[in-house]
Amino acid sequence: MKYRKLGRTDFEVSEIGYGAWGIGASQWLGGNDKESLAALRRAIELGLNFIDTALAYGNGHSEQLVGQVVREAGRRIYVATKAPPKNLLWPAQPGIGIAEVFPYDYILRSTERSLKNLGVETIDLLQLHVWNPEWIGDDDWRRAFAELKSSGKVRAVGISINDHQPDSALEIIETGLIDTVQVIYNIFDQSPERNLFPLAIERGIGVIARVPLDEGSLAGTIDENTRFPAGDFRNEYFKGDRKKQVREHVESLRRDLEADANLPEVALRFCLSHPAVSTVIPGMRSLRNAEANCAVPDKGPLPAETLAVLRRHVWDRNFYD
């Protein structure tokens, strides 16, 4: 494992972090707590020390599993969680004011629930689970962040940026009031490189790269025959002819890479090849995936020729719609 500084915080976080949405077991089905806990513990044994969870992941279930593992770990593990939008609307919708989504008292109450689920005194990083740049001048988030930091309930604060809208975070970074951003960054969506990453580097903002495998597309195993359990969010994400589209894009990507290239490894190394990225957080509910992913940092960044090839595989679309 290798470590990077999370922006201007003093956290030295592992290049591979743990994406804990799947282990919430409400929108991702087909796993189980025993296997999830084993994968998380194994990742920690292999040097992982950063976990991204959220109150919304299984209504506290993911936070509870994470808390259990962190308390028994015997060494410093950094936990990031998120306050869900009060109106439960993902992504944030234009025209809906902060009073409906993140009023001051609500952010504080939500943080208390997360502290309880995690069973810790302090949350390392609290993120707003959605962000709408129209709230930039509002007081609620500013006061809540200041209060949570000064009371010692959270160490650092940030936002999770709406899907495929990296530039919607530029203004809040400029305020100097957040420490991190979490953003979709993968071979298909390279858009954060344009404006967000240069600004994050300039301002010392930590970058958490999420959905590095495009919800599984970049693991290279999805085609028209892939089936997900009933009620699993991926039935929506990969609906209609999207599995076929994914297969075609992945086939084209594979044709351009070395014959023996390991696709999930290339996808994670792609994210780690950008200096703005502090940590990349794949979901990994199995021992096999945890072990494979934690070995990726040792391979180092991708060579420039491979990055040049990957530039040709940007795919502009929004499957969350």
Ligand X SMILES: NC(=O)c1ccc[n+]([C@@H]2O[C@H](COP(=O)([O-])OP(=O)(O)OC[C@H]3O[C@@H](n4cnc5c(N)ncnc54)[C@H](OP(=O)(O)O)[C@@H]3O)[C@@H](O)[C@H]2O)c1
Footprint of ligand X (CB under 6 A)? 19-22, 52, 129, 160, 182, 210-216, 219, 264, 281-286, 289, 292-293
* Helix or strand holding residue 156 (H, E): strand 154-160
Neighbouring-strand partners of residue 160: 182
Cα dihedral value 147, 153, 159, 160, nearest 10: -150
5, 175 Cβ separation under 8 angstroms? no
Q: Which is nearer to ligand X, 27 or 68 (CB)?
A: 27
To ligand X, the closest distance from the beta carbon of 292 in angstroms equals 4
Q: Which is nearer to ligand X, 206 or 216 (CB)?
A: 216
To ligand X, the closest distance from the beta carbon of 55 in angstroms equals 11
* Helix or strand holding residue 68 (H, E): helix 61-72
In b/e form, how buried is each residue of 196-225, taking b as 16+ CB within 10 angstroms?
Answer: bbebbeeeebbbbbbbbbbbbbbebebeee
Q: Which residue is nearest to ligand X (CB)?
A: 283
To ligand X, the closest distance from the beta carbon of 28 in angstroms equals 7
To ligand X, the closest distance from the beta carbon of 159 in angstroms equals 9
To ligand X, the closest distance from the beta carbon of 219 in angstroms equals 3
The Cα 146–Cα 144 span in angstroms is: 5
Q: Which is nearer to ligand X, 21 or 106 (CB)?
A: 21
The Cα 67–Cα 76 span in angstroms is: 12
Q: What is the DSSP string of 31-54?
A: --HHHHHHHHHHHHHTT--EEE--
Which residues are CB-neighbours of 240 under 8 A, at least 6 positions away? none
Query: In the numeric block, which tokens belong to residue 259?
Result: 């014959």
Q: Which is nearer to ligand X, 151 or 226 (CB)?
A: 226
Q: Which is nearer to ligand X, 132 or 160 (CB)?
A: 160
The Cα 173–Cα 38 span in angstroms is: 37
The Cα 159–Cα 183 span in angstroms is: 9
Q: Which is nearer to ligand X, 18 or 304 (CB)?
A: 18
Q: Which is nearer to ligand X, 107 or 213 (CB)?
A: 213
Q: Which is nearer to ligand X, 19 or 192 (CB)?
A: 19
3-class secondary structure, 119: coil
To ligand X, the closest distance from the beta carbon of 215 in angstroms equals 5
Amino acid letter at 47? G
Cα dihedral value 143, 144, 150, 153, nearest 10: 180
To ligand X, the closest distance from the beta carbon of 62 in angstroms equals 8
To ligand X, the closest distance from the beta carbon of 150 in angstroms equals 25
